[in-house]
Amino acid sequence: MKIDSPDSVALADSAAGQTAAYIHIPFCRKICPYCDFAVVAGTDLADRYVAALLAEIESADPFAEPLTSVAFGGGTPTALGTDALGILLEAVESRFGFDPEVEVSLEANPEDISQATALALQEAGFGRISLGVQSFDDSVLASLGRAHSAAQAIDATRVVRSVFDSVSVDLMFGTPGEDLGSWRDSVTMALELGVDHLSTYSLTVERGTPLSRAVAAGAPAPDPDLQADQWLIAAELAQGAGLVRYETSNHARPGHAAIYNLVTWGQGEYAAFGNGAHRHRDGLRSWNVRRLERYIERIENGQSPVSGEERLGPWEREVERVLLGLRRAAGVLAGVAGERLLKSERGSAVVDAGILEVDDDRLRIARPLLGDGVSRALLALTPGDC
């Protein structure tokens, strides 16, 4: 079988037609100060939560086709025991069916990974581990408020590398105090440990987080210029190690692009389960209640956990297609919205600035670090027919 490059148009476009499922595990040992996901510290409600998840999964409608991707994210899925994770995965499979090539991915934190856990997860059916390493520098890990050390991160990466076929590491750049050298060392370490996939995220100050309060009170904020340099370093090192950048923040070896993510960027459909989980089905985006207790209560009382939804009109959907598709290195078919963008004043400005590139009927972001300027230009278009 021919393996597509992670940034190939064929891979990007085929993922758009596939279906996926996301299972949210909100538990964490401690909450990182920069995190604004739907998470809780401790696992007090784990049993009731797993029961609720199972109930939600069992009541969901399957897609016409079996899933090509399942992603367990959080939170920290490994905060649950491997048995519970296995039961949940089984439930998803029996409800939705799995494609033979299905990608079964799990987010894990280094402090939860031992040889035994890794083997148990593999046994349970997980094939891809995404490790939340963030940095291989102890001082950076400390300022990020992470629970693990650099040594633990190295050990955990080695363990999963030895057990799983597909290993990804998340790194975070721009932590105040992290210089270019430290960042370079972290990226190099991840690559030397032989990861198949590398996600590099700029530290972002999200509203309502302890980090944003600290910054408001005068703590140093991430420096966007330094982050730009760090992004470039990561891209260069990853490329040198044979990884291809296929999205703004993601690099992979051929055959290791995250299918679940490609489905998202292709405006594809996915089911989602758990508190705060977002799904996209039948053209409707909807999301569950964010508070863990509320989610559990609703399910236990036989109520729907859905707390909000958004159905876009044809124009908004078309804009969203381009908006999401442009995250990919493969770019996106220009289509109605893309054509309109190119004709608009702001659209030509981003083309002139070398940010947006036109290649036949496809649009690509040539300078991913400035991609949101293109998104805003798209959203600023006057709605039209499509």
Partner 1 sequence: MTDTSRIRNFSIIAHIDHGKSTLADRMLERTGALEEREMRDQVLDTMDLERERGITIKAQSVRLDYTGPSGNYVLNLIDTPGHVDFTYEVSRSLAACEGAVLLVDAAQGVEAQTLANAYLAIESGLEIIPVINKVDLPAAEPDRVAAELVSIIGGDPADVIRISAKTGDGVDELLAAIVEVLPAPEGAVDDQLRALVFDSFYDTYRGVVCYVRVQSGRLATGDGLRFMATGEEPAADEVGVLRPGAEPVAALGPGEVGYLITGIKEIDRIRVGDTVTRAADPATEPLPGYREPKPMVFSGLFPTDGDDFERLREALEKLRLNDTALVFEPETSRALGFGFRCGFLGLLHMEIVRERLEREYDLELVATAPSVAYDVGLVGGGTLQIRSPQDLPEPTARTEIREPIVRVMIITPAEFTGTVMELLQEHRGVMGEMTYLSPERVELVYRVPLAEIVFGFFDRLKSRTRGYASLDYEPEDDFIPADLARVDILLNGVPVDAFSAIVHKTKGYDYGRKLVSKLRAIIPRQMFDVPIQAAIGSRVIARETVKARRKDVIAKCYGGDVTRKRKLLEKQKEGKKRMKMLGQVEVPQEAFISVLQIDED
Provide the binding-site residues for partner 1, judged by CB under 8 A: 20, 22, 37, 201-202, 204, 224-225, 227-228, 231, 248-249, 260-261, 263-265, 270, 272, 276-280, 285, 287, 310, 320, 323-324, 327, 349-350, 353, 355, 368-373, 375-376, 379-380
Residue type, 172: M
Are residues 221 and 176 in contact, defined by beta-carbon separation less than 8 angstroms? yes
Is residue 178 helix, strand or coil?
Answer: coil
Task: Choose between 188 and 204: whose C-beta lies nearer to partner 1.
Answer: 204
Query: What does the alpha-carbon distance between residue 146 and residue 135 come to, in Å, rounded to a whole number?
Result: 9
Work out how close the CB of 233 gets to partner 1 at its nearest, in angstroms, rounded to a whole number: 13
The phi and psi torsions of 175 (rounded to 5 degrees) equal -60, 125
Cα–Cα distance, 255 to 101 (Å, whole number): 11
> Strands 278-281 and 98-108: what pairing?
unpaired
CB of 242 or CB of 384, closer to partner 1: 384
Closest separation between CB of residue 324 and partner 1, Å?
7
Q: Please, what is the minimum distance in Å from the beta carbon of residue 141 to partner 1? A: 18
Q: How many Å apart are CA 386 and CA 384, to the nearest integer?
A: 7
Smallest distance, partner 1 to C-beta of residue 327, A: 5
Q: Which is nearer to partner 1, 33 or 373 (CB)?
A: 373
198 with 157: CB under 8 angstroms?
no
Is the CB of 155 or the CB of 357 nearer to partner 1?
A: 357
**Residue 6 CB, nearest distance to partner 1 (Å)?**
16
Question: How many CA atoms are closer than 13 Å to the CA of 119, on its beta-carbon side?
Answer: 3
CA-nearest of 293, 81, 155, 173 to 89 is: 81
CA 174 from chain center: how many Å?
18
Nearer to partner 1, 194 or 354 (CB): 354
Place of tokens 């044809």: 314
Q: Residue 347 belongs to what H/E stretch?
A: helix 345-352
Considering the complex, what minimum distance in angstroms separates the CB of residue 265 from partner 1? 7
Quick one: 159 or 238, whose CB is closer to partner 1?
238
CB of 192 to partner 1, least distance (A): 24
**5 CA to centre of own chain:** 19
Least Å from the CB of residue 48 to partner 1: 22
Looking at beta carbons only, is 263 or 296 nearer to partner 1?
263
Q: Quote the tokens at residue 314.
A: 């044809």
Residue 82 or 264: the one with the smaller Cβ distance to partner 1 is 264
Main-chain phi, psi angles of 71, to 5 degrees: -125, 125
